[in-house]
Amino acid sequence: MSAQDLSFKELLDATRAWREEPGAAFLSTNSVSAAHMPRFNRLHGSIAGAPSGESELARITEWLGEVDGDHDVTARFIIAFLSAFAHDDLPDVSALAARLTATLIPEGYALVIKSYAEEAGSGDDRAGLLTEDVRTELASFPLPASRTLLDKVDALQGYAGQLGSLLQQRRKLENDSTGPTGMDLLNAKRGLIAVVEFVLKGFEMAEEELDESARAQVKALKDTWDAAVREATERADRRRRTKSKNKASSDPNPA
């Protein structure tokens, strides 16, 4: 499960009990969580206090996160796939796999920790390298359901293009806004998730030192959080499966 799949609204809903009584009083006084609550409150307030006019900016920012997730999953697949063939017993196959990796994703797994703009830029760079010969070489690596590695690379290019387009939309919204930027909101979201997960982990490690009342309150907070993260992750997985099925059904050359 990944809390990063939570929308801004879902994140606020999942942590509402941290701001309301009796949860707020418990968390602000317990030794495990007290030191972290000022940061929690500041980050939570940054998201909750964003002007209503920022809803479109938040939507674009969330969409960027979804596309970035799809981009990174696809990139990891391509890298791992070619890495496996780079150790093939056939010298021609291993050399081809190594060359394709060096040509298309020379940074390897470091690609997935780059900024949105850098990932979009990498897509632009790859576009000029995807000659007909390279596309034919990629198509020589088969995948299930009559697909090839070329389909994966084309998908990666599509995600990189989406990142570039969404970044342009976000910049325009930010230029027209006096509120927090999309990156401000995203950083607040990431920071809030990190605080929540750190505090919950701290309570888990200190469980034997908690009294029965404290354990009950922690359990309620954790159950609410876990349920929200599970639901968001399942929704994200369904979205990715639906996208994959839609792409397969639109294949002009089905098996």
The answer to which of 16-20, 27-31, 245-249 has the lowest mean pLDDT is 245-249
Q: Give the pLDDT confidence of 35-77 residue by residue, as tens digits.
A: 999 999 999 998 887 755 457 887 888 889 889 989 999 999 9
Tell me: the pLDDT tens digits for 181-218?
A: 777 888 899 899 999 999 999 999 999 999 999 999 99
Instruction: Retrieve residue 34's tokens.
Output: 């007290």
Domain ranges of the chain: 1-50+182-247, 52-179
C-alpha–C-alpha distance, residues 27 and 66, integer Å: 32
Distance CA 93, CA 85 (A): 7
DSSP state of 143: E
Can you give the pTM of this predicted structure? Answer: 0.67
Give which of 121, 126, 127 is closest to 101, Cα–Cα.
126
